[in-house]
Amino acid sequence: MAAHTDTVDQPAPRPARTAVAHRLLMCRPQYFDVTYRINPWMNPHKPTDAGTALLQWEQLRELYLSLGHSVEVIEPLEGLPDMVFAANGATVVDGKVLGARFRHRERTAEGPAYLDWFAQGGFTELLWPEHINEGEGDYLRVGRRMLAGTGFRTDPRSHAEAQEFFGLPVTGLTLVDPDFYHLDTALAVLSPDEVMYYPAAFSPGSRAVLREMFPDAILARAQDAAVFGLNAFSDGLNVLLPQAATGLIAQLRERGFNPVGVSLGELLKAGGSVKCCTLTLS
């Protein structure tokens, strides 16, 4: 009897984590610069160094390759300094591509440039969107459902458009802190049913929704969110995130993930890091 109770009281053993290989799209920061200000991180008066940006970006690309992912690259265009943030270029689910339509005119030309790449790359189900959406910056797939940010960039009407196009349930979440203007700056998907996020970046209602959907989520502290620790890429085992997010790195390790710290300080001057540089194709 006692032995039986003991067994019942044991926490369920954590299943071993395994990495899933992904196909990724990135854009070399050849023309990287901060020449305008569309988020609070950007200061056009502060000098940038395109050489350092290239080096840091290359290290991220090589890290993906060493972990068994495949990386394709889209040709950067002069005059589009934010094109390095490939996550914003589109949203891809099951091979279907929802084009991006940017909020700010400084980035609008990126939408058609990315959609062109998909058309030429043999993707056949493409949708040029009716409503403003900033791609996988605001759309994150968690298993067979999607989380969708709004509040700063993506129009909430886009959420219904995405749900209709992909045929997956889309849950809208409202961002309220301008430092965390895209969903992927405040929340990262870790596995088909796990996320980590920074609660203060969301409206009270959206926080309640996240608690309801992910009661066991990793909650980020302010200091980790402030170094863009949530702008992370996970393959189910390895989690690539800014190396300065030491608290999150420890929390991830406790949960059985393999956190890998990355240094992308130059790109942070534009308000982007690991996930922003990465568009998940599959």
Q: Read off φ and ψ for residue 267, nearest 5 degrees.
A: -75, -25
Chain positions 100 to 159 lying near ligand ARG, rule: CB under 6 A, are: 107, 137
Binding-residue pattern over the window 202 to 241 for ligand ARG, x denoting contact by CB under 6 A: ----------------------------------------
User: Does position 198 bind ligand ARG by CB under 6 A?
Assistant: no
Length of the chain measured in residues: 282
Q: In what order do the strands lie in the sheet with 96-99?
A: 90-93, 96-99, 126-127
| DSSP secondary structure of 29-58 | -TT----S-SSTT--TTS---HHHHHHHHH
User: Does position 242 bind ligand ARG by CB under 6 A?
Assistant: no
* Span from 64-72, 178-186, 196-204, 237-245 in contact with ligand ARG (CB under 6 A): 178-186
- For the beta carbon of residue 11, count every other beta carbon within 10 angstroms: 5
CA dihedral 77, 85, 281, 250 (to 10 degrees): 150
Scan for tokens 């996988």, then name that residue.
Answer: 136
The 10 Å CB-count burial string (b at 16+, else e) for 30-63 is bbbbbeeebbebbeeeeebeeebbbebbeebbeb
Active-site option among 22, 159, 276, 277: 276
Looking at the Cβ atoms of 37 and 131, the one nearer to ligand ARG is 37
From the list 35, 36, 123, the residue with the least C-alpha distance to 74 is 123
CB of 92 to ligand ARG, least distance (A): 14
- Binding ligand ARG (rule: CB under 6 A), the pick from 56, 150, 158, 185 is 185
CB of 196 to ligand ARG, least distance (A): 16
User: Does position 85 bind ligand ARG by CB under 6 A?
Assistant: yes
Per the annotation, the verdict on 159 as an active-site residue is: no
Looking at the Cβ atoms of 56 and 88, the one nearer to ligand ARG is 88
* Span from 38-46, 92-100, 125-133, 163-171 in contact with ligand ARG (CB under 6 A): 38-46
Count of residues engaged in binding ligand ARG, rule: CB under 6 A: 16
The Cα–Cα gap between 273 and 230 comes to 9
Per the annotation, the verdict on 276 as an active-site residue is: yes
Strands 126-127 and 139-142: unpaired
User: Does position 90 bind ligand ARG by CB under 6 A?
Assistant: no
CB of 117 to ligand ARG, least distance (A): 17
Return all residues near 38 (Cβ < 8 A) that are at least 6 apart: 103, 104, 106, 107
| DSSP secondary structure of 146-161 | EEEEESSSS-THHHHH
Return all residues near 205 (Cβ < 8 A) that are at least 6 apart: 174
User: Does position 28 bind ligand ARG by CB under 6 A?
Assistant: no
* Span from 37-45, 157-165, 191-199, 236-244 in contact with ligand ARG (CB under 6 A): 37-45
Tell me how far the alpha carbon of residue 75 is from its chain's centroid: 21
CB of 6 to ligand ARG, least distance (A): 48
- Binding ligand ARG (rule: CB under 6 A), the pick from 27, 38, 115, 248 is 38
- Residues with a known catalytic role: 182, 276
Binding site for ligand ARG (CB under 6 A): 38-39, 42, 82, 85, 87-88, 107, 137, 182, 184-185, 270-272, 276
